[in-house]
Structure 1
Amino acid sequence: MIELRRLNNETFILNALMIEQIQSFPDTTITLINGKKVVVKDTEQEVAELIEKFYRKIGLQQSIYKAGEVKNE
Structure 2
Amino acid sequence: MVRSAHTDASAQRTSNIDILLLGDVRFVCLYNIIEELRLELNQLYAYKKLVDKEIIKLSEKLDKAINEYYQLQKTGR
Give the shorter-chain TM-score range: 0.3 to 0.5
Q: Pick the structure with more strand per residue.
A: 1
Q: Pick the structure with more helix per residue.
A: 2
TM-score (norm 2): 0.31
Whose RCO is larger (CA < 8 A, sep 6+)? 2
TM-score (norm 1): 0.32
